[in-house]
Structures are given as C-alpha cells and as structure tokens.
Amino acid sequence: MTYNKITGDILAQFTNIVGNDAILTSPAEIADYSHDETEDLVYYPEVVVKPQTVEQVSQLMKICNEQLIPVTPRGAGTGLAGGALAVNGGLMISMERFNHILDIDEQNLQATVEPGVITELFMNAVAEKGLLYPVDPASKGSCFIGGNVANCSGGPRVVKYGTIREYVLNLEVVLPTGEVIWTGANTLKYASGYNLTQLLIGSEGTLGIVTKIVTKLIPRPTLDALMLASFPSNEDACAAVSAIFRAGVVPSGLEFMERRGIEWVIEHDGITFDLKDGIEAFLLIEADGTNQEVIFADCEKINEVLEQHNCQDVLFADTSAQKEELWRIRRTMAVSVKSNSIYKEEDTVVPRAALPKLIKGIKEIGAKYGFESVCYGHAGDGNLHVNIIKAGMSDDDWNNKLKDGITEVFELTVALGGTLSGEHGIGLVQKGFMHLKYTPIHFAIWKGIKAIFDPNGILNPGKIF
C-alpha cells in the first residue's frame, strides 16, 4: 500500500475541523504519542489530532480516505503489542477528549460511555451506584475503555465475570470511509444478522474508530476474601488451578505469580514480604459475593484443594489494606519486572489444565536459548504473561536468536490448544508469529473483512496480519 504525506493544505483542513488547540505537529509535542508500553518501540506520526465529536472523527477519516493518509487511532497508549504505534506515520487520532461517561442507566443496568474514559474512573462511577463493570486490566488506572474494546482486554475478574465481549452491547463506530454506524442494539441478546459488535471487539482499531460504547452492568458483590497460597513448584501451583474449579468454586480472581516476580517487586517497589525458602510459585485467590458464609465455604473448599496440591502456606488477608497490598504486588509486577531490563512480553493462553506443561516448557526453552523469564498472569483463564528479560543476554542473541525461542514458546502454546494472545492483542509485535497458529485461509478471511471495512487500507495499517 502506498500512502501520501500530510501536506500543508491537508493540515489546514485538519486544523479547520478540530481547531488550533487540538492539533500537534512538532516532534516535541508528538513525542508522547510516538510510543506505547510495548518494549522500546518508537514511531512518530506526522500529525496528532484530538477530536471531540463523532462528526470531527468522520470528517477526518473522509479526508484521509480520499488522500490515502494512514490513520492510527490512539487510546491511552498503554498497549503491550504495539497496536497504537503509527508505523506508517500519517495522522494519529487521539481519543483522549472523548472522556465522558454519557449515561449510567440504573433502570436497564447499562451505561453509555465514550472511549477515552479511563477504565477505573468508569468502574468507580458505576460502583457508586452499587453496580459492577468488572473488566479491569492491570493498567485500569490509566488505560481507556476504548482501548480495552479494541484489544479485547481482560483482567483478573474475567475468570468469574467473563471477558469484555460479555459486557459490550453496542458500539458507535466511524468507519474508514467516514460513515458512522451503530454496530448492534442496546440489548442483552442479539440474533439479528452477523454480529458486528463482536467483530469490532478485538479488531485493534483496524476496522473502525469507536466513538461510543454501550455496556452491560451487573449488581456489585459487596464482600470478598483474598488469600495467597505458596507452592514449592510452578507445576504444583498450576495444577491446583483447574482443581479449584473442579471442586465447584468459581473464584473472582485466580492469579499465578512466579517467585522471581515477587522478588522483583520486593526489590523495586520496596514492598515488605516474607519470601520463604523452597517456595517457587504463588496463587492469589479471591472469592467474592454477597454472603459471608458462602465466601467462607468457598474459601474452605479452595483450601482443601490447595492442601491436596502440595501448598505450603496460605496467607489470608484480614483487612482491606492487606488485600490492597497483595493485589498491588500482582498489579505492579509487570512494571517492576520491566523497569529492570529490556524485555519482551508474551501473552500466551491455553486451556487452564495445560498451564503446568506450558510453564515447564517455557523454562526449558529459556534454558535452551539462554533467556530468563518471569511468568505471572490470570491462571484461572489459562492466560500466562511471559516476560522475557534481556538481562545478561548478548545483543546479538537478543536481536537475532531470541525470535526462534519465542517461536518455540508459541509453538508450544498452540500445541497445547492455545493461542498467541489472550488479552493483549496481536498489534505489531506478534503478527510475525500468527502463521504458527493460523492458516492461509484465516489470513484470507481476515484480509477480506479488512477490505470490506477499509477498502483503501488507511486505518491502522500493518497491524494483526
């Protein structure tokens, strides 16, 4: 695809649409928009605009579509797969001024929200009304809900409450041609033609720019319990995971953490934690609900399972402060690990009982290629984040040989019935591995769908495939 540069004339048109105060053109101004949270990748767009109405987005898209200018939609820039990087330059449309919660409908338990709302602010706003929007990625304090939709983002509560697919009911979308549609209806059920809402979720900003999101809300659980279980091996911890469900309990959080991850958090965040010898892995397990007895009963069942799986110690959080501290360890782990070294993060997902084999295999592959890895993630969903640390690796090994190691990690993931990404998306950095799982038929279908929505290929080009 050949794209055009943004000329002075086109820039004037953009300025005319969004106003002088909502357009950035100098590299200094644009620097913040040149990267997301993916490794150390940097790509500068030519121009950044910050529209605040659907009409403005539509007008911008029409011009770019006619002039063949690549467009990169941008949320908060917290993505981990390079989905929001302007790899072809062009125009970046930042959705940061679409930051309004338009409606929290307490009669229907639905909300209408703009894509630039920070996920946690939205969660708090509905919580104030006794309601729950449970899709809370680790980056909830900074990521946008629009980015969550684009990447089919998850978080620890997916294990009980389901993915973002189960909460997004309807989307207002500006298509690459500038046309505006609602993808579906504001209904809990939908059997009225191919489901475009579901197609847009997880499409990583390649099919359209979301301008309004209608979500389902549910009654908020009022109580919870949190425990941290320690194990002598990764395999023991992972094996306990599927046994917990088999015992009839669906926890509201079931997170795996390697010892090495905890060590890095202790080291870099100054968290006090008594890390005992002989412990290699932890499960952070939350049970929530509206009845204390039921939660206790769930915890007892979980405890029995843990005992059967060689669990060495269970720490119950007694206070809100203790709970917050334990969750903080899990939430800051990514940042702690990454602050210390160049890294690559993979987002493997497998059927949950395959976790022991996955983690064992990852360590073996690491030994073969000489990379260190720190693993943690949403074990209840079979979703393991694998942080590959450069540490002592030579630049040559890191730049030239690591790809083969990652290929083996993904080959193992696929062989175990899994896929490349559970909740981070494919974006720029994983697309080179997609052929490990998908056939030319899949690629042909995806490209066909892309061409329907975006005949000129201007929207977020170079992502996914």
- Using CB under 8 A as the binding rule, the residues of this chain from 293 to 322 that contact a copy of itself are 293-294, 297
Position among 38, 56, 110, 234 found at the interface with a copy of itself (CB under 8 A): 110
Position among 74, 260, 352, 390 found at the interface with a copy of itself (CB under 8 A): 352
Nearer to a copy of itself, 27 or 448 (CB): 448
* Binding flag, residue 73, a copy of itself (CB under 8 A): no
Nearer to a copy of itself, 56 or 242 (CB): 242
Dihedral over alpha carbons 133, 196, 145, 31 (to 10 degrees): 170
Specify whether the backbone of 344 is left (phi greater than 0), alpha (psi in -120 to 50) or beta.
beta
Position among 10, 18, 350, 374 found at the interface with a copy of itself (CB under 8 A): 350
- Complete DSSP assignment for 40-94: T-----SEEE---SHHHHHHHHHHHHHHT--EEEESSS--SSSTT--TT-SEEEE
CA distances 5 to 58, 90, 159, Å, are: 19, 6, 45
Within residues 126-155, the interface with a copy of itself by CB under 8 A covers 130, 151-154
Position among 108, 142, 303, 407 found at the interface with a copy of itself (CB under 8 A): 108
- 365-386 burial, b at 16+ Cβ within 10 Å, e below that, comes to bbeebebbbbbbbbbbbbbbbb
Cβ atoms of 216 and 188 within 8 Å: the answer is: yes
Nearer to a copy of itself, 116 or 184 (CB): 184
Position among 126, 317, 426, 428 found at the interface with a copy of itself (CB under 8 A): 426
Position among 193, 274, 277, 321 found at the interface with a copy of itself (CB under 8 A): 193
Minimal distance in Å, beta carbon 71 to a copy of itself? 19
Position among 44, 273, 398, 446 found at the interface with a copy of itself (CB under 8 A): 446
* Binding flag, residue 290, a copy of itself (CB under 8 A): yes
Within residues 354-413, the interface with a copy of itself by CB under 8 A covers 354, 378, 381-383
Span of 3-11, 180-188, 303-311, 336-344 interacting with a copy of itself by CB under 8 A: 180-188
Q: By rule CB under 8 A, what string of x and - marks binding of each residue 75-104 to a copy of itself?
A: ------------------------------
Q: What is the 3-state secondary structure (H, E, C) of 110-127?
A: EEEECCCCEHHHHHHHHH
* Binding flag, residue 44, a copy of itself (CB under 8 A): no
Nearer to a copy of itself, 335 or 449 (CB): 449
Minimal distance in Å, beta carbon 149 to a copy of itself? 11
Q: What is the 3-state secondary structure (H, E, C) of 289-343?
A: ECCHHHHHHHHHHHHHHHHHCCCCEEEECCCHHHHHHHHHHHHHHHHHHHCCCCE
Minimal distance in Å, beta carbon 301 to a copy of itself? 10
Within residues 195-254, the interface with a copy of itself by CB under 8 A covers 195-196, 198-199, 201-203, 207, 218-220, 242, 245-250
Alpha helices in 187-246 (DSSP H): 196-200, 234-246
Count residues contacting a copy of itself (CB under 8 A)?
Answer: 94
Position among 8, 27, 270, 448 found at the interface with a copy of itself (CB under 8 A): 448
Nearer to a copy of itself, 315 or 353 (CB): 353
CA distances 225 to 325, 331, 463, Å, are: 13, 17, 41
* Binding flag, residue 178, a copy of itself (CB under 8 A): no
CA distances 298 to 156, 174, 222, 234, 290, Å, are: 18, 45, 15, 23, 12
Cα atoms in the 13 Å half-sphere on the side-chain side of 326: 24
The residue behind tokens 């909300």 is 111
Span of 39-47, 288-296, 308-316, 329-337 interacting with a copy of itself by CB under 8 A: 288-296
Report d(CA 114, CA 118) in Å as an integer.
10
Within residues 251-280, the interface with a copy of itself by CB under 8 A covers none
Report d(CA 435, CA 446) in Å as an integer.
13
